[in-house]
Structure 1
Amino acid sequence: MYIEKKGFSTNGYAVVATFVVLHLLWLPLVVSGNLPWVIFGGVLTLLTAGCWLGFYMVQPNQGVVLTLFGSYVGTDRQDGLRWSIPFFRRQHLSLRIRNFESGRIKVNDNQGNPIEIASIVVWSVTDTAEAVFEVDDYESYVAIQSESALRNLASGYSYDPLEEADIALRSHPIEISDKLRHEIQERLGKAGVTVHEARISHLAYAQEIASAMLQRQQASAIIAARQKIVEGAVGMVEMALERLQEKEVVELDEERKAAMVSNLLVVLCGDKATQPVVNTGSLY
């Protein structure tokens, strides 16, 4: 297992100034006409010219992985013009935060219902050695493992909660996002990648069952609304009977109370406007 370490490098501008001074010092030897000094100065000039190959540029928030004949020697994260040993092979990696948006995948939830789901993963490389040497292509590895984790998560939870305490994909977005980020991080940790955030960007029933599930949701909503209406109507009827008795507006026997309760419930619970009937005769 590879762990990132600091590689050897130095400020490139200082090395440029040093090489220029050395060339100026060796130039009189080359043009002196004395053969030994000419050969010596020429050899030094060639060696110095080869050292110019050791310069490279590091952009802000970028890392350069240095290897020597297949051996990892370190990573340079210092931005600007840098110089290192010319024999080092250099590989540039971006350390910036990136987004990965998965395509819409079809998967069955834990109830067997086909659903469509997609996610957005915010990630960055934090260990350049692992990213380069532990996996073949870390960007492709992020894409494949993120989609695999999303598929595994979606199959472990239901689309809608079966009970109030159940965690479901649609009703608990924060909990699902935390679990998704944790699962993706476990998969990408070995590649030197840190997952900053993972959220579901699309969630819906598959097209073949979408209409049936919509009807079920509408029926559930209607039942819940009716329950609220009935609870409120019963409370209003109780309050009406109590107020009539307190104010002694009219005395009703049990049969008339039942009739009044029936009429009030019809008025309060009906989904259409009621038609009033005026009684012009005796109350009884």
Structure 2
Amino acid sequence: MNTYDKGPAFVVSIPPKWENVTAEALMRDIWQAPKKTVHQLRMDKAIILDGQPLNWTTPLKKGDKLHFSLTEKEYGVIPAEMPLHILYEDAHMMIVNKPAGMNTHPNNPSLEKDTLANAVAWHLQQKGEKVDVQHIHRLDKDTTGAVVFAKHALVKGILDRLLAERKIKRTYWAIVHGLITNKKGTITKAIGRDRHHNTRRRVSPSGQPATTHFQLLEQNKPKNLSLVQLVLDTGRTHQIRVHMSSIGHPLAGDTLYGGKPIVSRQALHAKYIEFDHPLTEERLAFEAPFLDEPPLFSAFFKKEGE
């Protein structure tokens, strides 16, 4: 697939596997794009083939180039210049590495200027891309790591579906108190709001189902700490923090859930992200490097000789 450098415009080149598929079937069956978005593309005549408006029911040929021309949109947030660590970018989306102490997006977009979304908007503005900045998922303010942003509604709708279907695999690393004895384990406990605390969540039988898989990576016996890798089947607010605390291993630095303030923040990092590209179906896999200065994770788990 080819893409323009500046959006919101891009080209999709039809590969052999999609030959004889109609644009209608491509949208409905292969991309499974939202009906509302597809309808808007039709109404706007936003897709051109060989210089002519697309016939949605004519079978496509290998090498056909679908030219998408999408309406420019306001960023939705105030562009603000800040350091931005980009793991991946194309005409459709960005994957960025969020630092600690920064919200994913503003609660009040007309006033706040210090979130990851503001930094993404600034980056796009400098490139001349005028698109609505849309996050696909969020990380807590003090959690670091990979976050996905969509650049247009078609990809946003497909990525939202992939997330709901658990096809965007996110893998976290955390430092927790105590020496975990099981090499692997699964925590399946429903999570609900804490009626006595506005921001806290808690294990609650009447809450939303939640499942967390953990794997022990390393132990620091002198400091009574364990390094664990975690994969979520669900994406509940504070899920890792609540689940690890519930089994007696709260995150280091996470004072809200019983962790001790031995580090400046909760020791949680979204280290890996993996999924199929929403349009090309190419497998994407990225590792988000640690950004903490001074180092947080490596300081607690140095190899011998370091």
Q: The TM-score by the shorter chain falls in which range?
A: under 0.3
Q: Which has the higher helix share?
A: 1
TM-score in terms of structure 2 length: 0.21
More strand by proportion, 1 or 2?
2
